[in-house]
Homo-oligomer: A and B are copies of this chain.
Amino acid sequence: MRKSIATVSVSGTLPEKLEAVAAAGFDAVEVFENDLIACPLPPEEIRRRAADLGLGIDLYQPLRDFEAVPGDVLRGNLRRAEHTLELMTRLGADTLLVCSNVSPDALPDDALAAEQLHLLAERAAGHGIRIAYEALAWGRHVNEYLHAWRIVRMAGHQGLGVCLDSFHILSRGSDPIGIEAIPGEKVFFLQLADAPRLAMDVLQWSRHYRCFPGQGGFDVTGLVRHVLATGYAGPLSLEVFNDVFRQSDARRTALDAMRSLIALEEALLPSGAPPVVPSGFAFAELATGGSAELPALLSALGFARTGTHRTKPVELWEQGGARVLLNANPATEGTATPEETEPGLVAIGLETPDPAASVKRAETLLAPVLPRERAPRDAPLDAIAAPDGTALFFCRTGHADHPDWTADFPRESPVPDGDVTGIDHVALTQPWQHFDEASLFYRSVLGLRPQESMEVADPYGLLRSRALAGGGTRLVVNIARVVGAHQAPRQHVAFAVRDLRALARRLRAEHPGLLLPIPANYHDHLEARYATDPEIRELGLLYDRDERGEFLHLYTVTAGQVFFELVQRIGGYGGYGAANAAVRLAVQHAERS
């Protein structure tokens, strides 16, 4: 399907927006009036640049406060409209969005609205232009899409149709099934936006919190199905007003936007390949930063070095089903990060039933495939870059049907069988502009299901956190709204432990100082709240419960940007101990200062 995006959805000047949108592979744009007004280029030049970039200008928007007005107001409105139609001729745009009147001048008179829209459509037809009438969710009298359709049908002009906008329809809770009452040839345009579910004024919600389909809480796909059922054959066009995207790199936002449309299209077509959901973690790869901190931490936790890469300064450390790679030269993996000189997570290996299919899907969804330096004997191992720059490797460990990456690490010693059984989850901090992008990335590329996002108090700010899970893989993505000097560690790897009490007892005895100290005030509170047993305090464990089970966990001290968590899930506990994150952050800040 033809893919379009409103210029307001990305940052920059109008020429910068056009370039970013074209680079992401869009077919067309909607030109937003304010972008044009502020642009020093004449409309003819904008038209030429769009054409050179292979972009159509599928819509010009908006003409506001036009219909259902008294005669004297109409005269001024027609003058405005005539200017807009002339401008569109210069711009080469053939469809004009008219949004329902919000001014106090508007009269609650459908017949008058229809009559004046008919007049406008007639004038527009003289310029070869069509009018797409849209019900704004906060329109003064017309704010439901079926009401807009009623007026369009009443007007009965072939150059007049409706514009449907998923935000305006879904934010009001209207049922989109009524779209099927509209003949496809009268749906002149379809604008798509998602949004988080927020209980707030719909105008503010629309202007600041829209996001790309799949990043919010609306069933945009379901709405598009109803639109396609009418026979609509026009573009899918994104119109997103978002405070974060306004400040983000235009090219990156445009790629994120295109990814959302590809995922949406895939969800619409039964023929689309389903995501290849990873079945768990093959490994976590950490840069050592030239320090001995990480090997010491892993040793203490019961890991052993079981192999060393044939050609690279990378060691394999294992315990039970948990594998950690320690890389002394991480510049060869992932994309460069400013933290790469100190210990930190640089890559994650994911188990997949079909690595080639995983990479193909990632490419389809515009994930950057990373070039790999590989010695001739090394196992092929494909990697993509996640939004935070971490490399994601697609692995198939220990299966005869695929080369095994562990073969590159000739075995030096057996895998110890200790309390750690595997990797439970990995937590990654995203740049603050990329939280929604990260959710969509992991959801669409890996098929993980996002859970509700949560807020955690940090002594110096707020942390927003969202878990994504599926097929045995659990990721937690965080963004920190924290002032510069007070950043918490960026990443952690959580190991699943069989008996956390036993492990904690051993660690406290043998490695004092290895575990993050937990304030006595926390355990006072825990006992008062949950009547927990004294051993939890004695061992310095953290505790949480949900309706399905219990959670014991604890944290190691931090090495560079990374630390380890040890977790034991009891029963069907499904969370991540978020209730304790504020305590953990406070102690980490105290340890650092």
A contact set with B: CB distance below 8 Å:
11-13, 16, 33-34, 36-40, 42-43, 76, 79-80, 82-84, 87, 198-201, 204, 243, 246-248, 457-462, 481-483, 517, 519-522, 524-525, 527-529, 531, 582-583, 585-587, 589-590
Contact = CB atoms under 8 A, between A and B. Distances in A.
Contact of A34 (B528, B582, B590): B582
Contact of A583 (B11, B37, B80, B482): B37
A210 B519 CA distance: 29
A84 B483 CA distance: 33
Contacts of A460: 11-12, 246-247
Contacts of A84: 528
Contacts of A87: 524
B199 A198 contact: no
Given A198-B200, A201-B200, A462-B243, A37 B83 contact: no
A416 to B, nearest CB: 34
11 contacts: A13-B586, A16-B459, A36-B521, A38-B521, A40-B519, A79-B531, A80-B529, A83-B528, A87-B524, A200-B204, A247-B482
A-B interface, 10 closest residue pairs, ranked by CB to CB distance from nearest: A83-B528, A38-B586, A199-B201, A200-B200, A247-B461, A40-B519, A38-B583, A247-B483, A80-B528, A37-B525
Nearest to A247: B461
Contacts of A200: 198-201, 204
A198 B418 CA distance: 55
A246 B12 contact: no
Contacts of A462: 243, 246-247
Given A200-B201, A246-B457, 18 more contacts: A13-B590, A16-B459, A34-B582, A37-B583, A38-B459, A38-B583, A38-B585, A40-B517, A40-B519, A43-B521, A76-B531, A82-B528, A83-B525, A87-B524, A198-B200, A199-B200, A246-B460, A246-B461
A544 B517 CA distance: 62
Given A583-B38, A586-B38, A586-B39, A12 B80 contact: no
A560 to B, nearest CB: 22
Contacts of A37: 519, 521-522, 525, 583
A242 to B, nearest CB: 10
Contacts of A587: 38, 40
B461 A11 contact: yes
B519 A79 contact: no
A431 to B, nearest CB: 11
B198 A201 contact: yes
Contacts of A201: 198-200
A481 B243 contact: yes
Contacts of A199: 200-201, 204
A445 to B, nearest CB: 26
B79 A528 contact: yes
Nearest to A249: B483
Contact of A457 (B34, B76, B80, B517): B34
Contacts of A529: 80
Contacts of A585: 38
Contacts of A459: 11-13, 16, 38
A459 B36 CA distance: 12
A256 to B, nearest CB: 16
A591 to B, nearest CB: 10
A247 B463 CA distance: 11
A11 B204 CA distance: 28
Nearest to A38: B586
Contacts of A521: 36-40, 42-43
Contact of A527 (B40, B83, B198, B589): B83
Contact of A481 (B79, B247, B528): B247
Given A528-B84, A586-B13, A42 B520 contact: yes
Contacts of A483: 247-248
A128 B461 CA distance: 36
A435 to B, nearest CB: 15
A200 to B, nearest CB: 4
Contact of A582 (B12, B38, B42, B247): B38
A135 B42 CA distance: 60
A517 B40 CA distance: 9
A585 B246 CA distance: 14
A522 B83 contact: no
A437 to B, nearest CB: 15
Nearest to A461: B247
Contacts of A527: 83
Of listed A247, A582, A590, residue having the most chain B CB within 10 A: A247
Contact of A40 (B461, B525, B582, B590): B590
Nearest to A248: B483
